[in-house]
């Protein structure tokens, strides 16, 4: 896992391409979403940025079926290496298990859960949103992509037994029927696709055990590389910055969020010349300097907001950071910004 959910550029490009087919060019869409150029060029986007893109596409296209169109146009090529691994699987069920395993390479903004029954199996989608609430089009796109991929990999049009969403209906019913070709229900307990076990366990026409092993080794290596990068000092600094408060974020929480041990986290940070405590101290220092600059904020309030149990402890830390106690530092800063009298 990662401290901050991200999504691959392949999925981002799928959204942009769908908007372009509806006469909304990429530059217009990115500008409407407020996505700066450096972010748009990254291999992985923060989950809140892809959410901004979805909301912008919803506004710019004005199409209530936009999410369904994105999902229906999804192909394994959109997820490159993962797609090749999936199409070599022996059965659709095996491919879905691989999706669960390699989900992070596509997006860790959600996860799939398999609920097996006697005759059919639910594939349930659990979104993992960031600070921004997901666009409901994102959920519709994911389930439409599941059905589209299943159709592609089986070589026949996929017909689930049922599809349901935890959210209200967005567009006309015929749009859902065109994509899912089965009963569709809304405002249910969860969002998911119900597929007959016979369909899940039927041998796939493109199954290739040897090729599947090659793709699995490659995809596993990519996943391992992504896991290594997920414990980067800059990412951990952003995580600390977002969670710093009266109760300090702990090393154990960060390790759990990453899915690694505390020892592994410490080792990876050491390889980058950092420690958890040093990063936490640096984030507290930056926030303290910013807060103390504002003369309207009482110093005890600042100390509490930064997780100091005692004001005196905050004073000692501030002197260590700046060489001056916070009161003197604040007066000096306020004097430096005092407008000159004519």
Structure tokens at 186: 């809304």
Residue 204 C-beta-side C-alpha neighbours within 13 Å? 26
Structure tokens at 318: 């501030």
User: How open is the CA angle 290-274-105, to the nearest 5 degrees?
Assistant: 95
- Calculate the CA dihedral of residues 283, 285, 287, 293 and round it to 10 degrees: -160
Quickly list H helices, the chain. Answer: 9-21, 26-33, 37-40, 47-61, 66-72, 80-87, 92-106, 136-154, 173-180, 197-200, 209-229, 233-243, 251-258, 262-271, 276-293, 299-305, 311-322, 326-336
Res 114: pLDDT = 94
Distance of alpha carbon 93 from alpha carbon 197, whole angstroms: 8
Walk along the chain (342 residues) and give the pLDDT tens digit of each residue.
556 678 888 889 999 999 999 999 999 999 999 998 766 677 788 888 999 999 999 999 999 999 999 998 877 666 656 666 677 788 999 888 887 777 776 777 888 999 999 999 999 999 987 788 899 999 999 999 999 888 888 888 889 999 999 999 999 999 999 999 999 999 999 999 999 999 999 998 877 777 667 767 766 676 666 665 567 788 788 888 888 999 999 999 888 777 678 898 898 888 888 999 999 999 999 999 999 999 899 999 999 999 999 999 999 999 999 999 999 999 887 765 444 444
Domain coordinates in residue numbering, the chain: 6-111+128-159+206-221, 231-336
Q: Which residues pair with 132 in a beta bridge?
A: none
Res 211: pLDDT = 67
78 phi, psi to nearest 5 deg: -70, -20
Under 8 Å between Cβ of 44 and 127:
no
Structure tokens at 341: 């009298």
Res 106: pLDDT = 74
Q: pTM for this one?
A: 0.68
Res 224: pLDDT = 66
Res 342: pLDDT = 46
Res 228: pLDDT = 57
231-336 CATH? 1.10.10.60
């Amino acid at each position: 896992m990662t401290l901050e959910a991200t999504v691959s550029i392949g999925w981002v490009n799928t959204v942009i391409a769908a908007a372009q087919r509806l006469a909304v060019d990429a530059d217009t869409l990115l500008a409407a979403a407020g996505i700066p150029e450096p972010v748009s060029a990254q291999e992985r986007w923060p989950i809140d940025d892809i959410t901004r893109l979805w909301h912008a596409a919803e506004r710019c296209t004005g199409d209530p079926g936009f999410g369904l169109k994105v999902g229906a146009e999804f192909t394994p090529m959109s997820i490159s290496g993962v797609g090749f691994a999936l199409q070599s699987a022996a059965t659709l069920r095996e491919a879905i298990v691989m999706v669960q395993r390699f989900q992070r390479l596509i997006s860790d903004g959600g996860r799939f859960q398999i609920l097996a029954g006697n005759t059919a199996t639910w594939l349930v989608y659990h979104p993992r949103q960031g600070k921004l609430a997901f666009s409901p089009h994102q959920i519709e796109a994911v389930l439409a992509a599941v059905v589209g991929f299943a159709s592609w990999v089986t070589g026949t049009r996929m017909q689930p037994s049922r599809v349901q969403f935890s959210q209200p209906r967005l567009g006309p019913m015929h749009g859902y029927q065109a994509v899912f070709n089965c009963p569709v229900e809304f405002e249910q307990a969860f969002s998911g696709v119900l597929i007959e076990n016979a369909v899940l366990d039927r041998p796939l026409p493109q199954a290739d055990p040897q090729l599947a092993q090659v793709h699995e080794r490659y995809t596993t290596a990519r996943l391992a590389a992504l896991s290594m990068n997920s414990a980067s000092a800059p990412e951990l600094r952003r995580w600390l910055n977002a969670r710093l408060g009266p109760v300090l974020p702990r090393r154990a929480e960060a390790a759990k969020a990453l899915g690694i041990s505390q020892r592994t986290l410490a080792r990876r940070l050491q390889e980058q010349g950092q420690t958890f405590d040093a990063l936490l101290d640096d984030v507290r220092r930056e926030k303290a300097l910013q807060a103390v600059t504002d003369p309207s904020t009482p110093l005890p309030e600042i100390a509490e907001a930064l997780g100091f149990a005692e004001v005196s402890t905050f004073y000692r830390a501030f002197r260590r950071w700046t060489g001056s106690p916070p009161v003197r530092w604040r007066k000096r800063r306020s004097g430096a910004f005092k407008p000159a009298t004519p």
